[in-house]
Structure 1
Amino acid sequence: MPSFLAIFTHENITSFFESYKAFGPIVAILLPLIEAFLPFLPLVAFAVANANAFGLWEGFLLTWIGASAGSILVFLLIRKFGQMRMLNFISRHPSIQKLMLWVEKRGFGPLFILLCFPFTPSAAVNVVAGLSRISVWQFSLAALSGKCVMLFIISFIGYDISALVKNPLRSVFAVLVIALLWYVGKRVENRLNIRMSQREDKGGS
């Protein structure tokens, strides 16, 4: 019985991505788009699969189109239906109201920074932005540019996954980069939260 690692041969990996590519670019766009509605789905895995199946640039572009469209669709749906009774309880929550006010005041910058990093809660960002009064074009610009940066980094790291398997040093480097992105993203997120709390304290005093 072959070992688990023996499955990850160049031939098997190539065969998998060729099979995935056979579904066509529509599926490559739809999977990241659906992830915006179902955030438990692995966007990173979709980005890596697209980059390996379609090539770095085309795969990145397909993932970016899907993920950006998904974020903007969630934003628009929340903007349109967020005040309905079944969703109104979300906007009445004190912490959500604070986030909404913060997004409205700060606009593009913090949204762009949060969406630049993987592992930040982009689904929550989409919802809060939709409930806030930030303009559609501001959010769209932040989503398009932030997702562009984040997904290109992931696609670049994950491109040619067979080389990652064959070259342990490259695999370690990729893991370290992803861990660094996670750490920096969390630090930025925490820093923005602290600044928001400080402004609220000043406003209340």
Structure 2
Amino acid sequence: MVASLVLGIVGTVLAAGSLGWNVAQYLLTGARMTLAPIVGIGGGSTVPLDATTDMRPTLQQFETQLNTDAADRIIGVTVVNKGRVDLCVTRWSFRVLPIARWWSPRRYAVTRWMFRSVPVGPDFLPPTDPGCPALPCTIPPGGAETFLTKLDRVWLVTTSIDKVSDPRRLRVVATATSGGRTRASKSFFKPMLTDCRA
């Protein structure tokens, strides 16, 4: 009696583990992309820098060394394929999103609730630049591809949107689309986008 109970428990645990393993394998077999926002100096060779932090002093130092100005700055996104099959990127863009607030310092009494969709925000599809891969772009497993455009173009979009809404409540992300799924990067460091002419 005890032996059959132990065997039943062991069988149930093994079956649950097998089911979990099969679900994990199913989710990991497709193409999975991660996005990293970058900024740099255009020209012959581009050194991509992390665009989520303030890189303005580093960019100014590069501009001094390379004898260029702020008009040569580039911005973009690096798409990395972390899956096991090829990833086909069909679209990339910049998107302006509202900053989500998950908490509030005030307390509220809930009288009613509802489902609400947050507006996605405007998209900016940059034109094809020389040195930027043509779309659709296939990225092999473990590979990466970098999509770039001039920072001036994104600056025009962000400053025009900041004039019609509160700039403190907006953030800019890069997006990439593959197979009908759109992924967004981390937010760009916003003052770097609006101070590119300085």
Q: Which TM-score band applies after superposition, normalised by the shorter structure?
A: under 0.3
Relative to the length of structure 1, the TM-score reads 0.25
Larger relative contact order (CA 8 Å, sep ≥ 6): 2
Relative to the length of structure 2, the TM-score reads 0.26
Structure in which a larger fraction of residues adopt helix: 1
Q: Which has the larger radius of gyration?
A: 2
Structure in which a larger fraction of residues adopt strand: 2
